[in-house]
Amino acid sequence: MVNSSHVDKAPSVPDDVSRDARTRDRVPAVISEQGPITAAALAAQLGLTATGVRRHLDQLAETSAVTSRAPHAGKRGRGRPAKEWVVGDTGHEHLTADYDELAADAMRFLRQTGGEDAVRAFADQRIRSLEERCESQIAAAGDDPHARTEALVEALRVEGYAASARTVGDDVVVGLQLCRGHCPVQHVAAEFPELCEAETDAFSRLLGVHVQRPATPARGDHVCTTFVPTPGARPHTERSTR
pLDDT digit string (tens) for 159-169?
Answer: 877 788 888 87
Q: Which pLDDT score, from 0 to 100, does residue 115 have?
A: 95
Q: Which pLDDT score, from 0 to 100, does residue 239 have?
A: 39
User: Whole-prediction pTM value?
Assistant: 0.57
pLDDT score of 213 more than 70: yes
DSSP letters spanning the chain:
---GGG---PPPPPHHHHHHHHHHHHHHHHHHHH-SEEHHHHHHHHT--HHHHHHHHHHHHHTTSEEEEPPPGGG--SSSPPPEEEE-HHHHHHSSHHHHHHHHHHHHHHHHHHHHHHHHHHHHHHHHHHHHHHHHHHHTT-S-HHHHHHHHHHHHHHTT--EEEEEE-SSEEEEEEEEES--TTHHHHHH-THHHHHHHHHHHHHHTS--EEEE-GGGT-SSEEEEEEEEEEEEGGG----
pLDDT score of 133 more than 60: yes
Band (pLDDT 50/70/90 cuts) for residue 25 is: confident
Q: Which pLDDT score, from 0 to 100, does residue 57 have?
A: 92
